[in-house]
Structure 1
């Protein structure tokens, strides 16, 4: 046991709690000292560990697997977890509080390209479908709202039948609010959240696509893309970027990079550099709060998107 960590052993397996709340250095230290083989967390936690200045000084050779979930994981982050943290068999799980614990997950022997770019395959005794705006099931390879049904689905929101009826149909299909694509092999890719979709001049822009591109920029540690109000187009794109330690950049540099990688209408109009993001207690990024902060910072409070 390391200072500040707690180990619980059950049935021959030990669970290590490095600290009362997440600290990248204490987590890396615990992995090294306790010779951990598996590591769990949300993407933000892995991003912080990957960007820790002393990452290469820790011995992570005992790691080989783990689980990442809670929010979509950038492809570049998954690749770095595999190569830089020795987690060659890391998997991703997908679920919501309303469909706990998971409905999709990859497997340790799933192809690497599927493990880094999808949330895996549907679990046993669970059904899934992707529907369009009319509620019709779309073909494989076509995006739409992901719906699931099965033993993982909650019974109801306590004391709120109206809210329950909004998300659970009479036939028990749960509307996740996530936009997804399921391929011919059954692997599911989360494209974004319906409420996060940016409607710019009538074009639907998915923040996840822009984020995946910006994660490939050598100076970018983390990025969150949100929509902000615009008088002419309804909404414009704002990229909030956390840079890697010791580097500098400009909005123009980021915009020029995006112009080389993205369609014109997907290029951010605004680029803001931040030191951190508002997080929930479990480490998930609160996009709605980022949007509120950017609206205030950019002086767009008086504009109401159509």
Structure 2
């Protein structure tokens, strides 16, 4: 019998886990809701019902098999949000190809590393996006595939890659020698190809189906390998927490290359007969507001910085957002004050908070529509069904008492197949008892609600005091003139580390260091008041909206002339 005083929780065992493949489950949903909207891509002016989407998916799956690809082969997608991304996600799942998500922010060397690490045979790519010239980078990496010459070069930089397919975008990528146009490839397939059905029937739910690269803030990115069972079930239970159904329409401005878009977005919808709505290929707050109003969306996803941008848009008040009720705020720490504004001003009374990591498909904990508002704005909810979580002392591995901080670990169906081609790193992350060690510091209260207090590596130790940056960030969010804030530790000769705050002031507001310190005085302990305060226009962040605190830390060290040796 588990001790209730310890930080351990086990999720509900109902409803039962889905033991089908993604292709089989999707086909069952199509049979149930054939004429319901499945996918609306506003920037492409495309609308597909479930039966129309299925026909196009089957056709593209057929085309991929006719290219000579076989189950288990890896095929990459290097693109922002569009219809083609969804076709890739579902068609590869139908015929057992492993979809490799390539970060749209990657440049030449990063793309080269990722494609070679997993041995991609085919890559589907956008021609370009803003400052990223994807076809230009590929011409540099694989000239033998992008020129009229058919001769093999002596040293191929992408030795596994056989074919590049570029996504049709008006005015981009015309007449690319040696590359294939997506629409031309699609036309080679059949929506009623017996080989697709035969291959689909041979697949099993535990087959690897997706590789997503971790952020790689330390060392090279690792390829988290996920199965049908991993992401299909996670998408389903995420949708259950939001109470999604066939009348829901979910606006998804978060990128698909990341689990947030692909699992919390696409699969949450496709397992509940809901409609996917893409407001744009990349995030732009005005297009989100327009999409919610025009499509009468009932749900909206986003990281905190996205919701802040929407709320603070000059035209925010013009839009009717009254159809909204639910969605997910996740991807990074969700400030309490931002959550309150979202609930009050965007009608998202049933918005949920989700916590997870790529290696766990990704969600381990989530609040639901019935979670009291106080718990929804201060925690990441409770453990998801069919999963276990525990909070352990990072030094001893012992489960800590409720209310005590420690490392969050999770176990169950959602834990990844492993890191592709890296057994050593897999063993470091997943212990002998199959617990995934997240590296996140958390607490669990008496009711089982989990609060993420920071990353083990982000915890600041000042003069022997353990300081969690998120606690100070939450306090500073209360300041009426502060729009966003990030706290990091920087080396210090006397205390080992000192706190630094990077602050974005609200538009039109004049804020000084003295104002911030005065706000802190008498409200938080003196050692929690940041020594260094800087006002900035933006934070360095990933495409998914995750703040890159290590870059803030590096910038401050350079600005202050500090080195890690200063903390010795």
Q: TM-score range by the shorter chain?
A: over 0.9
Residue 4 (str. 1) matches residue 43 (str. 2) = yes
Aligned residues of 1:18 and 1:27 also touching (Cα < 8 A): yes
Residue 301 (structure 2) aligned to one of 32, 40, 62: 40
Instruction: Provide the C-alpha distance between the structure 2 equivalents of 1:95 and 1:302, rounded to a whole number of angstroms.
Output: 30
Residue 226 (str. 1) matches residue 265 (str. 2) = no
Instruction: Provide the C-alpha distance between the structure 2 equivalents of 1:273 and 1:185, rounded to a whole number of angstroms.
Output: 39
Q: Residue in 1 aligned with 2:540?
A: 278
Residue 165 (str. 1) matches residue 165 (str. 2) = no
Aligned residues of 1:8 and 1:14 also touching (Cα < 8 A): no
3-state DSSP class of the match of 1:196? coil
Q: Residue in 1 aligned with 2:279?
A: 18
Residue 369 (structure 2) aligned to one of 108, 113, 138: 108
Q: Residue in 2 aligned with 1:287?
A: 549
Instruction: Provide the C-alpha distance between the structure 1 equivalents of 2:532 and 2:558, rounded to a whole number of angstroms.
Output: 13
**Residues 5 and 58 of structure 1: is their aligned pair in 2 closer, same or farther, counting only changes over 3 Å?**
farther
Aligned residues of 2:41 and 2:277 also touching (Cα < 8 A): no
Q: Residue deviations 1:198-230, cap 9 Å, x none? A: 111111110000000000000110000000111
Unpaired runs of at least 5, structure 2: 1-39, 51-245, 247-272
> Equivalences for 1:258-277 in 2 at 5 Å?
258-277=520-539
Aligned residues of 2:302 and 2:329 also touching (Cα < 8 A): yes
3-state DSSP class of the match of 1:159? coil
3-state DSSP class of the match of 1:29? helix
Q: Residue in 1 aligned with 2:182?
A: none
Q: Residue deviations 1:42-71, cap 9 Å, x none? A: 111111112212222211111111111111
Instruction: Provide the C-alpha distance between the structure 2 equivalents of 1:9 and 1:290, rounded to a whole number of angstroms.
Output: 45
> Equivalences for 1:134-173 in 2 at 5 Å?
134-173=396-435
Answer with 293-302 or 33-42: which moved more. 293-302
Higher relative contact order at CA 8 Å, sep ≥6: structure 1 or structure 2? 2
Q: Residue in 2 aligned with 1:69?
A: 330
Aligned residues of 2:368 and 2:381 also touching (Cα < 8 A): yes
Q: Residue in 2 aligned with 1:91?
A: 352
Instruction: Provide the C-alpha distance between the structure 1 equivalents of 2:541 and 2:503, rounded to a whole number of angstroms.
Output: 15
Aligned residues of 1:5 and 1:30 also touching (Cα < 8 A): no
Q: Residue in 2 aligned with 1:121?
A: 382
3-state DSSP class of the match of 2:391? strand
Report which of the two has the higher share of helix: 2
Instruction: Provide the C-alpha distance between the structure 1 equivalents of 2:501 and 2:44, rounded to a whole number of angstroms.
Output: 36
CA RMSD of aligned residues (A): 1.6
**Residues 16 and 254 of structure 1: is their aligned pair in 2 closer, same or farther, counting only changes over 3 Å?**
same
Aligned residues of 1:5 and 1:17 also touching (Cα < 8 A): no
User: Post-superposition shift, 1:284?
Assistant: 1.1
TM-score by length of 2: 0.52
Residue 193 (str. 1) matches residue 460 (str. 2) = no
TM-score by length of 1: 0.95
Answer with 117-126 or 292-301: which moved more. 292-301
Q: How many residues align?
A: 306
Instruction: Provide the C-alpha distance between the structure 1 equivalents of 2:364 and 2:288, rounded to a whole number of angstroms.
Output: 28
Instruction: Provide the C-alpha distance between the structure 2 equivalents of 1:152 and 1:141, rounded to a whole number of angstroms.
Output: 25
Aligned residues of 2:41 and 2:280 also touching (Cα < 8 A): no
Instruction: Provide the C-alpha distance between the structure 2 equivalents of 1:69 and 1:3, rounded to a whole number of angstroms.
Output: 24
Unpaired runs of at least 5, structure 1: none
**Residues 9 and 110 of structure 1: is their aligned pair in 2 closer, same or farther, counting only changes over 3 Å?**
farther
Instruction: Provide the C-alpha distance between the structure 2 equivalents of 1:260 and 1:80, rounded to a whole number of angstroms.
Output: 26
Residue 321 (structure 2) aligned to one of 26, 47, 60: 60
**Residues 270 and 156 of structure 1: is their aligned pair in 2 closer, same or farther, counting only changes over 3 Å?**
same
**Residues 137 and 163 of structure 1: is their aligned pair in 2 closer, same or farther, counting only changes over 3 Å?**
same
Aligned residues of 1:128 and 1:146 also touching (Cα < 8 A): yes
Report which of the two has the higher share of strand: 1
